[in-house]
Structure 1
Amino acid sequence: MNSREPSAAQEPRIEPRTEMTSSDEDDDSKTIECNTEQPYSIAPFNPSSRSAQDHALRLFSLTSDDVLFDLGCGDGRLLLTAASQVEGVRCVGIELDPIFVWRGRTALAKLPHEVQQRVQIRHGNVLLYDNNEPLCEKEDNEQVLHACSDLTIREDATAIYLYLLPKGLARLKADFLDSLVDQRMEHDGTKGRKIRIVSYMFRIHGWDPVAIDDGLHGGVRHYLYEFGSDAPSD
């Protein structure tokens, strides 16, 4: 991992992609306008506020046994917060934009080594990769030896965070999440493990949330969904 920020000539050109909530530290109720013309505009980089992160992590109630995936993780700030707050939790983020992957890895490198070993930010498209394989670019020895390198969503995730537009949620649900939930509903060894999914801002249509967090001052909502052997039944 490089320790220096790349020059402007080296940085990939990344355009904002849609309208979402602003990243004010203590206010998650404002909006900003961005470009919606990008073909991959299912999740713009518009970082969630620290308040929003705290609300999401409170819904998850993570423990040292959890594996948290953030699909469309931006610069990975939710993952870094989770790993710093919850001892033992392992965190994996997948992000399409390379500059945000770089920023997340750079921020991670500033944290204690013990935290670094429990967070991995992967470069890839959540809608295109093979869900049965760990998506991991082996860019250097640190990534190869990383404690999270072999983790997959289908086999290992116990918590998934989604900050996606409705069309992104709908496509991910149809392409992958429905089959993941069906797998976790099977009471067959590890397939019966509970999975918790938190969606920020938007409901996942077709599912009923088990809890809704209204955010700071009744602001933007988080929706919690649970499936698996010890999750609430329909």
Structure 2
Amino acid sequence: MLIFFLFLIIFLTLLFFINPLFSFIPFVPVRRKVLNKIISALELNDQSILYDLGCGDGRILFAVAKTNPSISCVGIEIGPFPFLLAKIKNIFWGSKKVRILYGNFFKLDTSPATHIFLYLFPEALDELLPKFEKELKTGSRVVSCDFEFSKKKPSKIIEIESLGWQKNKRLYVYDF
């Protein structure tokens, strides 16, 4: 049994360090204190379908599913470590309304989404913008944490005061 746990620790450590090889976007989890602000900015309703592109450990999806179990949540992650973490969390604490997918979100059809959450670098946002303009239905909402599209003006900017060592955060809200 000790050998199993030793191999498990080694495997997870390797996944953590190998993760950056799969994506140019690092796994940076959103602080739990910011979750409610993000959920509020999304303005979800019972018919919402939330996509989290680069969902990391799935904390946004699980927080939404906990506050409103009728909302369908889809997360996609390309990094093996955060993907496995999200899958494990979904098995033990998740909801039937939360799906975690492994893959490249640039290849994902986003047309079913009514709401999308992003915590991505500006380069990734700018690459996604034409895709969103083509695929998203009128009335869809996109909330981006800390970074904005360079070629689209946000409908609203929400300032979140500093949380300890972290600088102020901004949520950029876009209505398509």
Range class of TM-score, shorter chain: 0.7 to 0.9
Contact 1:16 1:45 in 2 (8 A): no
The answer for unaligned runs of 5 or more in structure 2 is: none
TM-superposition CA deviations, 1:144-170 (whole Å, max 9, x none) = xxxxxxxxx21x210000100011111
**Residue of structure 2 in register with 1:208 after alignment:** 153
**Residue of structure 2 in register with 1:178 after alignment:** 133
| Alignment map for 1:60-75 (pairs within 5 Å) | 60-75=42-57
C-alpha distance in 2 between matches for 1:39 and 1:80? 24
Could you tell me how far 1:178 is from its partner in structure 2?
2.4
C-alpha distance in 2 between matches for 1:209 and 1:170? 13
Contact 1:89 1:118 in 2 (8 A): yes
Could you tell me how far 1:9 is from its partner in structure 2?
4.4
Is residue 144 of structure 2 the alignment partner of residue 195 of structure 1?
no
C-alpha distance in 2 between matches for 1:62 and 1:170? 24
C-alpha distance in 2 between matches for 1:16 and 1:167? 22
TM-superposition CA deviations, 1:29-86 (whole Å, max 9, x none) = xxxxxx7xx5731x21010001222111111121211000000000101000000011
Which of 95, 113, 129 matches 1:157?
113
Runs of 4 or more above 3 Å deviation: 8-12, 14-17
Which of 33, 41, 51 matches 1:51?
33
Contact 2:76 2:105 in 1 (8 A): yes
Secondary structure of the corresponding residue to residue 94 of structure 1: strand
The answer for unaligned runs of 5 or more in structure 1 is: 18-34, 132-152, 186-193, 228-234
**Residue of structure 1 in register with 2:95 after alignment:** 116
Assess, with a 3 A threshold, how the Cα gap between structure 1 residues 65 and 207 changes in structure 2: closer, same or farther: same
Could you tell me how far 1:107 is from its partner in structure 2?
1.5
TM-score by length of 1: 0.65
**Residue of structure 1 in register with 2:58 after alignment:** 76
Letter in 1 for 2:8: S
Q: Which has the higher strand share?
A: 2
**Residue of structure 1 in register with 2:23 after alignment:** 40
